[in-house]
Amino acid sequence: MQTTSSPPAGLEPQTGIAPPMPPSAATPEPLPGAMPESPVSGPAGVAFFDFDGTLIHGDSLPMFVGEVIGRRRAALALADAIRSALHRHVRGRGPGCDFPGSVKAIYLKRTLRGLPVADALAAAERMVPRVRWHQPMLDVLKEHRRQGRRVVIATGALDLYMPALLRGLEVDDLLATGMEVVDGRLTGRLSTANCVRLDKADRVTGWIAGHGPVAATWGYGNHPSDLPMLALMHKGEVVRIRRRSNRR
């Protein structure tokens, strides 16, 4: 029996962007002390983007699990994972480093354990047309590329499905949460740290150290989970996706 923790598929830069869903408003908000220029002004460097709630609407993980076991079962499993994590944390036995991490660990183990990798990759392909892209931030990403900057996606989403969702975007690298694979099947356990909050900041710090020197860094994420990453940037922007009201 052999265990591998490498992502199941590579990510190659390609051209074009998947068609976005109907537009919504976004308000990137500079962190305290950020410079007032446009978020895409300045010298060549690297732009780091969160994925869920920044480049797309909502959370991609329940969508993926829904493609694997069905949407209704996925919703029920998530509710049950939240209850289980709450009970375990009350007793000081949560499997994650914090409550959200425990929910994720329980959810993944109960829904993905034993799943063949081939089935996971097929579910990822089924996700592609369902993703609701956030056009304003896609435009920001494209502008960074136009100005010759590298683009890195740093996300807590799983490395199983992210390459399929990013296909067609000009992305240079992907920092995501890895799933453990044994004999071609998922064990339900993570093979990397959960790439959120402080762990995401550590992954980004390591990437910069390994790919430097870097002239300047830009970061885009949502509040509060991405604040540790954004604090590392020369320019960090908090993204809040707001739906437009249908009322006139």
pLDDT tens digits for range 217-244:
999 999 888 999 999 999 999 999 986 5
Domain boundaries, the chain: 3-60+130-242
Residues sharing a CB contact under 8 Å with residue 218, sequence separation 6 or more, in sequence order: 39, 40, 45, 46, 47, 48, 144, 149, 233, 234, 235, 236, 237
List pLDDT tens digits, range 126-149.
999 999 999 999 999 999 999 999
Question: Domain 3-60+130-242's class?
Answer: alpha beta
pLDDT score recorded for residue 222: 93
